Amino acid sequence: MGMLGSGSVTLPLTFVTSQGNSTRKSPVELSCSLASPSCLVSWDCHPIPSSETPNSDEIFPAKGIALGCKDGTVYILQSAPVPLAHSQRRSSDSCAVPPEVACNSRPTSPLRYSALGLSAPRSASISSARSSFSPFHITQSRIVSAVSKEQVEAPKNYVDFDDEQDKLKGMLKGKGIKDKLPADSLSPNVDRGYAAEKAASSPADSLRARTLSPPSSAVSLSLPPSPTAWSVDASQIPPGEAPLFLKCHVFPPRFGPTHGIVAMKALADGRHIICLQETGDITIFATSDGSCIASISIDDYIAGSKDTTTAPAIWLWRTLSLTSCGETSILLACATPDEIYSTSQPLDVSDGDPEDQTRVVAFTLSVASAQTPNDTLLEKVGDWYVDGPVQAVGLHEQTDGSLVLSHISSSHRLTIQTVDLSRLSAPENDVSESNSPSTLPIPNPFKALTARSKEHLPDTNEASQLPHLLLGQELDIGSIPVDGPILGMRCISGGASVNAIIWSTSVLSVFQWRDRALKNLFTYTLSEIRDVQWVDEYAFIVVLPDRAESYSIVRVDANNDNLPVKHIGEDEHLMQPNLVQSASLLPSDACCVVHGERVVSTRVKNGRRRIESTSLDIRGERIRRAHTLWAGPENWPAGDAAPRLSCLLPVELYLVIQGYSDGSLRRSSLTQMIGRHGDSPRVSSDVCLSGIITGLHVVDDERTKERFIIGGADDGSIAIWALETLKLCVRWTIFTTPLVQVIQLREEGVGRLRGCILCISHDGTIAVVTLDDFQFLFLVPASAAALKKVCLGTDNLLLMYADGRARLWDTKTREFWRSMNIDKAEELLKQGGWSEWLVGATASSSTSTLSTLFDLASVDSASTLLLDVEALLQQNSPGSLPSDPRASATTPEQDHILMLEVLRSILSALLTFGLDNAVDDLCRTKLGVDASSVLSGLSSQGSTSLFAEQTPSSPWSISPVVSAARAIALVAVLQKLTHHEDLAQDAVTVTAYYAASLPQAVGPLYQFPNLPVLAEQWLRTSVAEVRHAARMLFDSGVSWLSDKETMLIVETWQPFLPYLQADADRESTRSAMALFICGFIAVEKYNLLPTSALTDVARSIAIYLHNEASLHRALAIDLCSRGFPVWQQYVDAVDMLRALFTLATTSRKEAISVHNIGTQARTAVLQIASSNTPLFMTTMTIDILHPQSVQHRRSILQLVIFLIRKKPLVLYSNLPRLVEAVVKSLDPNSTASRDAVLDSATEILGHVVRTFPTVDFHMPTQRLAVGTSEGAVVMYDLKTATRLYVLEGHKKRTTACSFSPDGRRLVTVSLEESVVLVWKVGSSFTSLFNPGAPPRQGHGGSDPFKTLSFNVGDEAHMTLAATLDYVRFEWPAERSVRLKIRDSILTFST
């Protein structure tokens, strides 16, 4: 859940540029070859068990490798997933569909909804027989065909408005939904009169016909080959090994040279990796796409959390271990003090070497499982200090399920402590003082870290409520024979005992401890050890710089003769290592031992990074030579001196400044960089810096309004250029590290430095310069700790650092005042008068639409822009567009053209050309969009993934999250393109292809968009195009679900519906997502869901609908609009309708929201009025006659006016009931009520008379005549608000009626009868003696005064809608009337 985070839809766009005469190369692959790996981890991706995927192709992703780098980023490589052959599937698959359909059955992929962790059962045909997916409000056939056109059977019971309301309840209990919802309620604006079978008249029409055809029909799509999975010869790979392809380059939320990856762990299933950075940032990534699942910073001083440790120290984090204890996973991170900081900031140490002190922090890890849509959580549960090297700390699970923390002290003594897990699940308040976090259980030798000020300790009462681990008493169980500093330790549990290997610079020692007893097995002289891994408790592998050696542990007697193997440590015989095999290794940057049988390493050879595997056999039966799993592209040739792109600065959409490796700047634009001529900027800087441009920032002179660029190079120099001309103004060489951030001081309270610029280097040095005369004022030196925040108040400069300390400088005298801890600094800031800026953010200067990654980055990040799709789509008016630098001023027409150019450029980066020739031709010839070499990535929760795409289908084969992000952006931009009339139809066709036909085009590796991501984006965004795209893609995804998948997803999310949550959790995003997912699935496939699920969904809708403070009312309204016939069976439908009535007519400011609830509610009312007219009209008439309040009646009358304007045909058959209700609301006996609704009622009657020819009003007599569908005409007197009489002359529907100018005649016409009737309706003497009876017509009986026949041919069968426009009476004289029927005019004498 929340894979994309709470931010807007942001896509990284990486620009592939050619260098000199060389061909274009993937920036991600080039970046990998130039990277500096610091650690490596490998895993096996286990296939999904066949029992979980009964109806799908099982996809077996084999192995994966992650490279952690010194710049804090990660490269993920994987072997290509291989679908099983059709013959290997379950036999039930082959009989699930007819043979002619099976060959074109839809592709499948595992974990299509990865946020759910669900497997991918897939039936062979679309389950859209129960679906009415309609992604577009267009006059075309549906994209996903085989859609049922059955309508819901409308209730036949009509309740008169005078009847008691109990009859309305009885109607709701009557006949319900028969088979399917009305199609109109699901797609209100679709024209069902479109001839889908119309012959195609153009290639585009042919494409549309094929795009909108059933997926199960014979499709003439040319399926592309599977993505290229490796760049090495697969024939050279031994059996059991899988070649790799570079999947993505992952940038964590924080990265850079000081955030290097120091340790990584792969979770058991290979779907996630955990990365620890030197600065203490822990991030969990999905290996499928590099998306950030969870992230936490161990020490975040600026946040001011009470749980952070604020001792004045810099900890360098080194090791990471993961231990499972029952259902609890404990993550252990260990750190050592920074040697440089320790020298500059001496600690008060009484005993021991401060360099051998280790900080240990424990977290509980909860990874979202397949059964619950929970977030992956990292929760800090322990923070301790131990004596000894950081590499010698471990956490072990005992046979009884308990945990033991072990460490080797600086004097090489093994110490263990039990770990109490009881506080993790049931925190207690009565914890003894010795175990309180305030008095950390720290051993006596480490007084330097125990004697901390109380101001650094968390509040005891609050901290005692938090779950945390408790350590028991320390037990010293013996000495370890090892010389020199310990460099590493590896442990393996062997039943009741723990075997361990530790090594130093010269020796390797193996020991065992069991039941608090230590036994040293042997010490072996071996130097330059890089790594050691246990194979089992009898064997291990040692990695050395030039070789890898496998050893077995053997029992020997006093003569060193081997003895029979027993469990290690069972007797007193000697143990010795036996060298089994040695394999040569080439020098490498990083390596790891995989499953005790392979050494995987990485190195650069001839400018190409390689991933190599060397296999070992612990039994010594065979030796395999090293082989290459992956080889990257060759770097730029030595003779290729062409500068490479090293930095980007987006100033606005039409102006991007490019920095190059030769120290020059060039002007370009987004459209140029995406287009064919993206490598040819027009303007270049006049002078080059001596280093590589690493950072660019834009500032402006407040006095002259002139804009400048401040940039830095890797040699520490900084320079200022004029933005318009790129002319160099000034340059200095000030820093020893590159420029990373620029702060322009504009605030009033910054004192004498207002108007100056703070230039901050990577090491925290600050240079203060001015823009007016380009002067360098002074330099503020750096600290050993990283700079985190800059605060400026009048003449005081407060700098806050990562070690928990702050420095105060006087900007007037330029002197250092004092140093303080972070808490004192926060107290100083609370006094007010300070301006604050955070330092070290990973996003540099940006516009509202474009931004960049961190400046000190790799080749691919230097050529990447982050595009905020929502901000781009909101620039929908010419005034919101920045001016084009090509012209001094632009007209609205020019802005319109420029915006269209931008949209086309973005589409060229998002569309995947090569999947279908017809779609490609349509994009080129009709939309004006051609293919580009731009690569699209993924942004999620502050992290960024850049992909090394191989084939056109690669972007859709990565993961469901990537497919969802790209599809939302693509469909939203195409939707924006439909606003251009000449492009609308073709844009809709392309949208249809990408929304519904990609599974067939991509093939079996296609990853369906993630449903929870689509739901979250719909809930979060206020941009109409993005919401439209999310809903369209969600409906398309639901239509592809099999019955089993449908029920599984609903079963998964149902427990999180708002109705089943506590009041405090009902407004959570997770509850809203559960309602979105379950609700819209229920709308499409309600007959698959149990009654309990439908009931919970309906009640959840009612909760949001009736809660005025709810943030998710728009969701409830949308669900009412789409599925009211479903929900009315399970909740009070009348109350739901009344809530919609209220929302549809509310005009209060507090009712206005980003989702425009009033408009949505009116749309829902129209939809319900069309699909359930009897219930709607009954509710409305009852509310008019018996309102809850006068204001409520007025609101209902306003709603009637709205319906007359928008949906007159809905009211046509119910006009008599409606009019009588309105007339009765004007009862003169209720003066207050009549006065309150008089204006609204009068307005309604005016609209009725103007809209419906069956109603006419005579002002002088205040008479109102209403024709009915039965042929009668009802006469009302508005002065008394009563029904006078009924004229019954027509045998069929009355088409129109009209009063004569003097009000003494009424003419009525029935086209179905072809008869005009003339009635005398003036007051007469006889009406005084027979009230309620119609006036005498001049002869006996109730026959009309005159009956006039006519013949208009086929016009007699005119539709109801046509009669509203083409049938009218006109009175040229008192007794002469003209009847207009379309083009025919008939004149009668009355």
What was the pLDDT predicted at 442? Answer: 37
- The predicted-structure confidence for 1192-1242, as pLDDT tens digits, reads as follows 777 788 888 888 888 888 888 888 988 998 898 888 888 777 877 888 888
What was the pLDDT predicted at 620? Answer: 59
**Sign of the CA dihedral running 591, 594, 596, 601:** negative
Give the separation between CA 630 and CA 608, rounded to whole angstroms.
10
Q: Where on the phi/psi map is residue 1271: left (φ > 0), alpha (ψ -120 to 50), or beta? A: left
- The predicted-structure confidence for 467-516, as pLDDT tens digits, reads as follows 578 888 889 999 998 888 899 999 998 777 899 999 999 999 999 988 88
**Largest pairwise CA distance in the chain:** 142
3-state secondary structure 573-607: CEEEEEEEEEEECCCCCEEEEECCCEEEEEEEECC
Q: How do 693-700 and 261-266 pair as beta strands?
A: unpaired
Give the pair of three-digit tokens for residue 1047.
């029920």
- The predicted-structure confidence for 56-93, as pLDDT tens digits, reads as follows 333 334 588 999 999 999 999 988 765 544 333 333 33
**Sign of the CA dihedral running 299, 303, 309, 315:** positive
- Measured in whole angstroms, the distance separating CA 1343 from the mean position of its chain's CA atoms is 71
| Bridge partners (DSSP) listed for residue 864 | 14
Give the pair of three-digit tokens for residue 398.
């005992």
| DSSP calls for 918-938 | HHHHHIIIII------PEE-E
**Sign of the CA dihedral running 882, 887, 892, 896:** negative
- Measured in whole angstroms, the distance separating CA 277 from the mean position of its chain's CA atoms is 25
In 3D, which of 780, 665, 785, 685 has the Cα closest to residue 734? 780
Instruction: Please name the residues in contact with 646: beta carbons below 8 A apart, sequence gap of 6 or more.
Output: 659, 660, 661, 692, 693, 694, 862
Average pLDDT over residues 97-115: 38
Assign 1018 a pLDDT band (cuts: 50, 70, 90). very high
What was the pLDDT predicted at 797? Answer: 93
Average pLDDT over residues 797-803: 90
- The predicted-structure confidence for 433-443, as pLDDT tens digits, reads as follows 333 333 333 33
- The predicted-structure confidence for 981-993, as pLDDT tens digits, reads as follows 899 999 999 999 9
Give the separation between CA 169 and CA 186, rounded to whole angstroms.
25
- The predicted-structure confidence for 1147-1179, as pLDDT tens digits, reads as follows 654 444 556 788 888 888 888 888 788 888 888
Assign 956 a pLDDT band (cuts: 50, 70, 90). very high
Give the pair of three-digit tokens for residue 234.
């697969």
Highest mean pLDDT among 387-401, 808-822, 1295-1309: 1295-1309
Q: How many CB atoms sit inside 10 A of residue 207's CB?
A: 23
Give the separation between CA 45 and CA 244, rounded to whole angstroms.
13
Instruction: Please name the residues in contact with 662: beta carbons below 8 A apart, sequence gap of 6 or more.
Output: 643, 688, 692
Ordered alpha helix ranges (H), 605-762:
670-674
What was the pLDDT predicted at 5? Answer: 56
Asked whether residue 561 carries a pLDDT value surpassing 50, the answer given is yes
What was the pLDDT predicted at 1091? Answer: 93
Give the separation between CA 785 and CA 301, rounded to whole angstroms.
12
Asked whether residue 963 carries a pLDDT value surpassing 50, the answer given is yes
Give the N- to C-terminal CA distance of the chain in Å, as an integer: 74
Give the pair of three-digit tokens for residue 1289.
């002359």
Contact between 945 and 74 (Cβ < 8 Å): no
Instruction: Please name the residues in contact with 248: beta carbons below 8 A apart, sequence gap of 6 or more.
Output: 28, 75, 76, 289, 290, 937, 938, 945, 946, 947, 948, 958
Give the separation between CA 776 and CA 1009, rounded to whole angstroms.
53
Give the separation between CA 524 and CA 354, rounded to whole angstroms.
29
- The predicted-structure confidence for 1059-1093, as pLDDT tens digits, reads as follows 999 999 999 999 999 999 999 999 999 899 999 99
In 3D, which of 1207, 1328, 1021 has the Cα closest to residue 4? 1021
> Lowest mean pLDDT: which of 108-112, 594-598, 1157-1161, 1187-1191?
108-112
Q: How many CB atoms sit inside 10 A of residue 1247's CB?
A: 18
What was the pLDDT predicted at 1237? Answer: 80
Average pLDDT over residues 938-954: 88
Length of the chain: 1390
Give the pair of three-digit tokens for residue 1358.
């005119």
What was the pLDDT predicted at 1193? Answer: 78
> Lowest mean pLDDT: which of 560-564, 741-745, 871-875?
560-564
Assign 910 a pLDDT band (cuts: 50, 70, 90). very high
- The predicted-structure confidence for 700-726, as pLDDT tens digits, reads as follows 988 888 999 999 999 999 999 999 999
Give the separation between CA 490 and CA 485, rounded to whole angstroms.
15
Instruction: Calculate what percentage of the chain has a pLDDT beyond 90.
Output: 38
Average pLDDT over residues 535-561: 86
- DSSP conformational letter for 684: B
Asked whether residue 861 carries a pLDDT value surpassing 80, the answer given is yes
- DSSP conformational letter for 169: H
Contact between 260 and 355 (Cβ < 8 Å): no
Give the separation between CA 1130 and CA 1098, rounded to whole angstroms.
6
Average pLDDT over residues 558-563: 71
Instruction: Please name the residues in contact with 1339: beta carbons below 8 A apart, sequence gap of 6 or more.
Output: none
The mean of the pLDDT values for the chain is 78
Q: Amino acid identity, residue 531?
A: D
Give the separation between CA 786 and CA 278, rounded to whole angstroms.
12
Collapsed DSSP state (helix, strand, coil) of residue 1246: helix
In 3D, which of 1078, 1073, 1059, 1174 has the Cα closest to residue 1123? 1078
Q: Where on the phi/psi map is residue 508: left (φ > 0), alpha (ψ -120 to 50), or beta? A: beta
- The predicted-structure confidence for 241-284, as pLDDT tens digits, reads as follows 567 889 999 999 888 888 999 999 998 778 899 999 999 999 99
Higher-pLDDT residue of 286 and 641 is 286
Helix, strand, coil percentages, rounded to 5, for the chain: 30, 30, 45
What was the pLDDT predicted at 846? Answer: 61
- The predicted-structure confidence for 600-633, as pLDDT tens digits, reads as follows 999 998 888 999 888 876 665 565 667 888 888 7
pTM for this prediction: 0.80
